[in-house]
Amino acid sequence: MSATSEPDDRSAGDVNRTQEAILAAYAELIEELGTDDVSFRLIARRAGVGERTIFRNYATRVDLLLAVAAWIERRIFPRQDSPSIFDMPLTIRAAMESYDHRPELAHVVAETTMRGISGATPSPRRAMLEEMIDAEVPSLGDAERRAIVAALAHLDSAATWVTFRREFGMTRSDIADAAAWAAEAVLDPIRSRVG
Amino acid sequence: MAEGVDTPTAILANAAAALRESPFDDISYRSLGDAVGVSERTVYRHFPTRSHLLEGVAGWIESAEFPLPPFVTIPQFQDASRARFLAFDSSPAFAFVCARAASISPTGESEATFFTRALVAMLATNHPSVNERDLRRVAATLRYFASAHFWARMRTGFDMSAPEISDVFDRTVVQALSGLPTLSRTSR
The string of pLDDT tens digits covering residues A165-174 is: 999 999 999 9
Task: Tell me the mean pLDDT in the region A172-184.
Answer: 97
What does residue A127 show for φ and ψ, rounded to 5 degrees?
A: -60, -40
pLDDT tens track for A75-103: 999 998 888 999 999 999 999 999 999 99
Q: Is residue A147 part of a domain?
A: yes
- Cα dihedral sign for B155, A130, A174, A31? negative
Do residues A122 and A171 share a domain? yes
Q: Based on the number of CB atoms within 10 Å of its own CB, is A60 exposed (0-12), middle (13-18) or buried (19 or more)?
A: exposed
Using CB atoms, pick whichever of B137, B141, B153 lies closest to residue A122: B153
Given a cut of 70, is residue A2 above it in pLDDT? Answer: no
Neighbouring C-beta atoms of residue B64, cutoff 10 Å: 12
Q: How many domains does chain A have?
A: 2
- Smallest CA-to-CA distance from A164 within B23, B102, B171 is with B102
Do residues A98 and A165 share a domain? yes
Residue type, A69: A
Residues of A in contact with B136 (CB under 8 A): 168, 170, 174, 178
Neighbouring C-beta atoms of residue A70, cutoff 10 Å: 22
Given a cut of 70, is residue A20 above it in pLDDT? Answer: yes
Residues of A in contact with B141 (CB under 8 A): 178, 181-182, 185
Do residues A21 and A48 share a domain? yes
Q: Is residue A6 part of a domain?
A: no
Residue type, A78: P
Complex prediction ipTM: 0.92
Q: Cα(A50)–Cα(A25) distance, rounded to whole angstroms?
A: 13
Q: Cα(B174)–Cα(A102) distance, rounded to whole angstroms?
A: 33
CB spacing of B176 vs A116 below 8 angstroms: no
Do residues A94 and A188 share a domain? yes
Do residues A118 and A153 share a domain? yes
Q: Based on the number of CB atoms within 10 Å of its own CB, is A38 exposed (0-12), middle (13-18) or buried (19 or more)?
A: buried
Residue type, A108: V
Residues of A in contact with B88 (CB under 8 A): none
A-B CB pairs within 8 A amount to 143
CA distances from B62 to A40, B11, B56, B85, B148 (A): 33, 16, 10, 13, 10
Do residues A179 and A106 share a domain? yes
pLDDT tens track for A46-55: 999 999 999 9
Q: Cα(B33)–Cα(B42) distance, rounded to whole angstroms?
A: 7
pLDDT tens track for A131-144: 999 999 999 999 99
Average pLDDT, consecutive stretches of 10 residues, N- to C-terminus, chain B (188 residues): 79 96 94 96 95 95 93 96 97 97 86 90 92 94 97 97 98 92 51
Q: Are A186 and B172 in contact (CB under 8 A)?
A: yes
**The last residue of a domain, from among A56, A75, A94:** A75
Q: Cα(A23)–Cα(A25) distance, rounded to whole angstroms?
A: 5
Do residues A101 and A142 share a domain? yes
In 3-state terms, what secondary structure has residue A169? coil
**The last residue of a domain, from among A24, A41, A75:** A75
Name residues whose C-beta falls within 8 Å of residue A11's C-beta, 6 or more positions apart in sequence.
none
CB spacing of A114 vs B51 below 8 angstroms: no
Q: Are A56 and A18 in contact (CB under 8 A)?
A: no
pLDDT band at A14 (very low <50, low <70, confident <90, very high): confident
Do residues A90 and A184 share a domain? yes
Do residues A99 and A172 share a domain? yes
CB spacing of B140 vs A35 below 8 angstroms: no
Interface probe with B: pick from A115, A160, A174, most Cβ of B within 10 Å = A115
Task: Tell me the mean pLDDT in the region A175-181.
Answer: 98
Q: Is residue A80 part of a domain?
A: no
Q: Domain range spanning residue A107? A: 85-193
Mean predicted lDDT score pLDDT of chain A: 91
Q: Is residue A54 part of a domain?
A: yes
**DSSP letter (8 states) at residue A115:** S
Residues of B in contact with A166 (CB under 8 A): 102, 106, 110, 112
Chain A residue with minimum CA distance to B137: A178
According to CATH, the superfamily of the domain at B7-48 is Homeodomain-like (1.10.10.60)
Q: Is residue A23 part of a domain?
A: yes
Do residues A60 and A130 share a domain? no
Q: Cα(A172)–Cα(A102) distance, rounded to whole angstroms?
A: 11
Say what the pLDDT of residue A5 is: 41
Task: Tell me the mean pLDDT in the region A3-19.
Answer: 61
Do residues A61 and A92 share a domain? no
Say what the pLDDT of residue B188 is: 40
Q: Are B82 and B129 in contact (CB under 8 A)?
A: no
**The last residue of a domain, from among A38, A56, A75:** A75
Q: Is residue A7 part of a domain?
A: no
Q: Is residue A1 part of a domain?
A: no
Do residues A186 and A92 share a domain? yes
Q: Is residue A3 part of a domain?
A: no
Chain A residue with minimum CA distance to B150: A154
